[in-house]
A = this chain, B = another copy of it.
């Protein structure tokens, strides 16, 4: 793109850090300008507008999550890999709440086609291969898994689980186990569905 993509990346990086430190809502052009030591207007040389900035962070974070998941499932398969994938995401969400919150934004088509997003889907697919599903079911199973993991973490972050944190850890284990059972018993006969 530009002749100085370093700067664009640096700005997005700073925004991610800001989000982790002060919360997702703290990502504003003004705050970010204060952060990097320039006037708000100057940032518009590097970023189209606030929405584009957030999309940039979104893409960055997808890549980071993919990285973490890759490390979490390396050398594992089956239930082990499933746990690795889940745990990697949960750890990430816990350590980077601001970054994680950015993922809740609707993904733009561009973001959905980004390297990180594709890598993440591929990694999920590779975990699911351990369950020997019919090829046509892979996409459905991926969505199911993504829904459960993301949904759990969203509810956990939103503190919908009241204040009984000891139980949350157990709930998380149960969810992973439940996921495992559901995947292991996935229907193998692909009946037609209009």
Contact = CB atoms under 8 A, between A and B. Distances in A.
Given A140-B170, A177-B187, A155 B146 contact: yes
Interface in A78-107: 104-107
Nearest to A187: B177
Given A179-B182, A181-B185, A144 B154 contact: no
Nearest to A105: B158
Number of this chain's copies in the assembly equals 2
Given A104-B104, A112-B162, A182-B179, A150 B141 contact: no
A154 B161 CA distance: 18
Contact of A144 (B144, B148, B167, B187): B148
Contact of A141 (B147, B148, B174): B174
A167 B150 CA distance: 20
Interface string A125-151: 000000000000101110110111111
A178 interface: yes
A171 interface: yes
Given A107-B159, A178-B183, 12 more contacts: A104-B158, A107-B160, A112-B162, A144-B175, A144-B178, A148-B148, A150-B151, A150-B154, A169-B193, A173-B193, A178-B182, A181-B181
Interface of A: 104-107, 112, 137, 139-141, 143-144, 146-152, 154-155, 157-162, 167, 169-171, 173-175, 177-179, 181-183, 185-187, 193
